[in-house]
Structure 1
Amino acid sequence: MCVGESTRRSLRSILNQTGQEPYPQNPISVTNDSRTYLGIDLGTSGVRSVLISGTGEVLAEARTGLPETQDSGGMKTQKPDDWWNAVLDSLRQLVAQRTLTDVAGLCVDGTSGTTLLTDAENRPLTPALMYSDTRLPETARQLLEIVPQAANACSLSSALLKAWWLREHYAPAGDYYIQQQADWILSRLRGTPGISDWNNGLKLGYDVVNKTWPEWMQQMNWPVGALPEVFAPGTQVDTINTDMAAETGLPQDTQLHAGSTDGVAAFLASGASQHGDAMTSLGSTLILKLCSRHPVASPEHGVYSHRLDENRWLAGGASNTGGAVLKQLFKNDDLRSLSLDMHPDTDTGLNYYPLPAVGERFPINDPEKKPLMNPVPENPAIFLQGLFEGIARVEKTGYDLLEQLGADPVTSIRTTGGGAANITWTNIRERIVGRPMQEGLHDEAAYGMARLAAGLF
């Protein structure tokens, strides 16, 4: 029996409970030679799916929310069954818009570092620790006795740290598999675990330069098979499992491709692809990605590089500043209305470093860094503009740092995430960051995964 038998329900059985049909009575017709591609993005708060044509045209989109992350004494977890149910629901929404019978391939991305241990049938043996669970500094210090700092696998958000902690505290009997969020969904679709990609593998300790697991991994005494086989993003790794095809409504010949992380997926969604192309994600956090000929890394600054292919690397980092701190202080409607009362060409003079809590990862890697959001002016529009400016200065510092470390100079910046829609904030960023900005193709990471499945990058 596979994970959560209660969730192993077909789309038809789910919809039968509500009296709906799982497939439209008259789905949009498709020609025999037109194949489509599916991207699935698993985030912290929901699952998004995008269906595209072979040329990148968006044919259907869907969003499904996830239950709130559970926080028990700082231990932040989610239930993998909730991820799977959300995936099924998003596919049901797509089916209501358009048939999925012509899907040729799919890719999945997830939050980097969200980790669990499973058995050979994908049953979770531990909770799924979220990437945002950063309460394990002592475990990180223990890992540093084994793991080279340059391996980018000892940060408090790393998958390796969480896998180590889960093993030590849950002591699973017999064989087990280390899986991250995207890995687990791919395993469900394949019917068996054991596959990951360069981008998710990075923070599990995989050596993306030499494309192998490093020798120091042997000191950690993982059982045979615990570490996944790692493939380049977009590589065809399998065909969908027959049972999963029936459960999801996807064709039995649907090709499964190695996926990626949410940050890399957002980069691909933006349409950036050339050396010097950059992507800023203005979501709950601030993520920078810069396409470079060579990898750059600086653990003391929180800088690392994802490998796209043989000639392209994504140098970047993730700051704790971003939309999360704004939502602590303002409602969404206030963010929009107050933006209209700003003067984006005139600096407020406020020298803020906005953070939702103590601790920063990039471009300053300092777990003790405190937020700086004082003084607070009486005018809330000026206060919000000061926060926008502070986040923009972090963005500028990040790109300056990447260039100083040897990444290709930024030629243009595309923006994704919720903040991309705020024109006033964009004007402020253009003034402070000082690099050309252009509109991205799409702001959903799932679109990037669909493009990856279609080979459009």
Structure 2
Amino acid sequence: MFLGIDLGTSGLKAIVLDRAHRVLASASAPLTVQQPQPLWREQAPADWWRSCETALDAVLAQVDRRRIEAIGLSGQMHGATLLDARGEVLRPAILWNDGRAWRECAELEAAVPVAREITGNLMMPGFTAPKLAWLRRHEPAVFDRVAHVLLPKDWLRLRLTGEFATDRSDAAGMLWLDVARRGWSDELLAATGLARAQMPRLHEGPEVTGRLREDIARRFGLQRIPVVAGGGDNAAGAVGVGVVRAGQAMLSLGTSGVCFAATDRFLANPAQAVHSFCHALPATWHLMSVMLSAAACLDFSARLVGAEVPQLLAEAQARGLNDDTPLFLPYLNGERTPHNNPAAQGVFFGLTAGTDRADLFNATLEGVGHGLAQGLGALEAAGADFSGGLTLIGGGSRSAYWAQMLADLSGKTLLRRAGGEVGPALGAARLARMGREGIGADAACPEPALVAAHAPDAARHALLHERAARFDALYRRVAPCFPAAA
């Protein structure tokens, strides 16, 4: 059996997978995000470890832990976890959805004019490199003590194994990686005052990075089993649903919303804020569009009206989405693809005296869908191929109503597969098996069984295409009103 650990933004999930691709056990523990100032998003690494202990205790209690053979790690990308020479955490980790480093992005691109060619990406505040540039300016005493920069899941790796290591899919999101060549860029590191010695060792996703420390193995009743490199949450989620080769794609409906397309070569479209990263598998890359608030918008709207998401989904389905449904801009934490605007904000538009909570929830579902559809368009412009359909994963994939709405919005066939809600933890476990047994993706990563295929309805697509134009016009009209709008 193989253990997959996924360190998310709102919680940590652990699953146990057997050789028949069955998830035998799962458990999770919640996490919270601190917002000490506008645009800031932080978490304390100590909270990650407490959630890890809670989830592992719960999941291992459900199986014979002596049969666990390897561990794979996945997690939220881009977070700057900063350690001193003794390995002690210097400050709370600055997360992927933090928007404070806008100024530093422009400065880094000016300092390294070929940055987009090296990384395949725009400099964005959510990435790790501009966070360190911000730290250098605003917290120089902390910056001067930085001996190691780790991503969130790799800090867990350090606690588990004592090793400073990462995988290339996660490292690509730091903006210090030469993505085509899959190695660190000395030029980009120097631009932020850093060197390779402060970076973790690079590995491919299935490679073993170390073994459990003796005290950690004893704590959880495990052997000193290997821990593989794993992957960033989106790459690991793709591995979990069998999106492992060119022509395969997925749509992830988690806290954030991600459109992911695997490729067999380095492709890029930084002009539309498309992310171009290494995949968690050797000699494989991927294109990705990201909206910072997806399923998180559903929780937001549910909180506004004082109801639970499942009830509101039922009410929204009963009401239906109509031409007079309000519009919703889903930019609760700024936005990446295609706007690259950390100052963007959420907006409900078109309210009338007859608007009720079902209308607001339909507007929320649709607004997230419009944002995702814009991301798909940006990926197609970079060369992505969606002719084989898109696999849905993440918590939002459980709703057939939303899945059909997204198909109608995008004009793409969306596939719901068994276990799609498990997400990156499943991919992490699959990578652990690949590393333990030395097998390839074809054997370890089959596509899960198809639950339902949601083909777009032509009439609904035409209606929603008109609303998409209004959605886009609304953003462009109100963007100048956002504080410090880009």
Give the TM-score range, shorter chain: 0.7 to 0.9
Question: Please, which of 143, 160, 169 is the counterpart of residue 199 of structure 1?
Answer: 169
Residue 111, structure 1, aligned to residue 73, structure 2: no
Secondary structure at 2:417 match in 1 = coil
> Structure 1 residue 358: deviation in Å?
6.8
Q: How does 1:45-444 map to 2 (within 5 A)?
A: 45-66=10-31, 68-74=32-38, 75-147=40-112, 148-150=114-116, 151=119, 152=121, 154-168=123-137, 169=139, 170-171=141-142, 176-193=147-164, 195-204=165-174, 205-216=176-187, 217-223=189-195, 225-252=197-224, 254-308=225-279, 309-330=281-302, 331=307, 332-343=309-320, 347-348=322-323, 350=325, 352-357=327-332, 359-377=334-352, 378-442=355-419, 443-444=421-422
* Equivalent-residue separation in structure 2 for 1:58 and 1:304 (angstroms): 30
Instruction: Report if the CA contact (8 A) 2:330-2:368 is conserved.
Output: no
Secondary structure at 2:209 match in 1 = strand
> Structure 1 residue 140: deviation in Å?
2.2
RMSD: 2.3
Change (3 A) 1:358 1:101: closer
Instruction: Report if the CA contact (8 A) 1:117-1:163 is conserved.
Output: no
Instruction: Report if the CA contact (8 A) 1:412-1:435 is conserved.
Output: yes
> Structure 1 residue 333: deviation in Å?
4.2
Change (3 A) 1:319 1:100: same
Secondary structure at 1:144 match in 2 = helix
| CA shift digits 1:406-434 (9 cap, x unpaired) | 12334121112222111111121222222
Instruction: Report if the CA contact (8 A) 2:373-2:409 is conserved.
Output: yes
Q: Percent identity?
A: 24
Instruction: Report if the CA contact (8 A) 1:178-1:226 is conserved.
Output: yes
Change (3 A) 1:393 1:435: same
Q: Between 282-291 and 400-409, report the one with greater CA deviation.
A: 400-409
Change (3 A) 1:87 1:359: closer
> Structure 1 residue 224: deviation in Å?
5.6
* Equivalent-residue separation in structure 1 for 2:236 and 2:412 (angstroms): 22
> Structure 1 residue 324: deviation in Å?
2.1
Unaligned runs of 5+ in 1: 1-35
| CA shift digits 1:323-379 (9 cap, x unpaired) | 2223222232442331331336xx536573522437321133234545453102524
* Equivalent-residue separation in structure 2 for 1:313 and 1:244 (angstroms): 34
TM-score by length of 1: 0.84
| CA shift digits 1:54-101 (9 cap, x unpaired) | 2321111111112x2222123332111111111111111022211221
Change (3 A) 1:353 1:275: farther
Change (3 A) 1:234 1:100: same
Instruction: Report if the CA contact (8 A) 1:290-1:410 is conserved.
Output: no
Instruction: Report if the CA contact (8 A) 2:386-2:412 is conserved.
Output: no
* Equivalent-residue separation in structure 2 for 1:315 and 1:264 (angstroms): 10
Secondary structure at 1:171 match in 2 = helix
Change (3 A) 1:370 1:191: closer
Instruction: Report if the CA contact (8 A) 2:108-2:191 is conserved.
Output: no
* Equivalent-residue separation in structure 1 for 2:282 and 2:142 (angstroms): 38
Q: Between 177-186 and 275-284, report the one with greater CA deviation.
A: 275-284
TM-score by length of 2: 0.80
* Equivalent-residue separation in structure 2 for 1:124 and 1:358 (angstroms): 26
Equivalent residue, structure 2, for 1:19: none
Q: Between 349-358 and 212-221, report the one with greater CA deviation.
A: 349-358
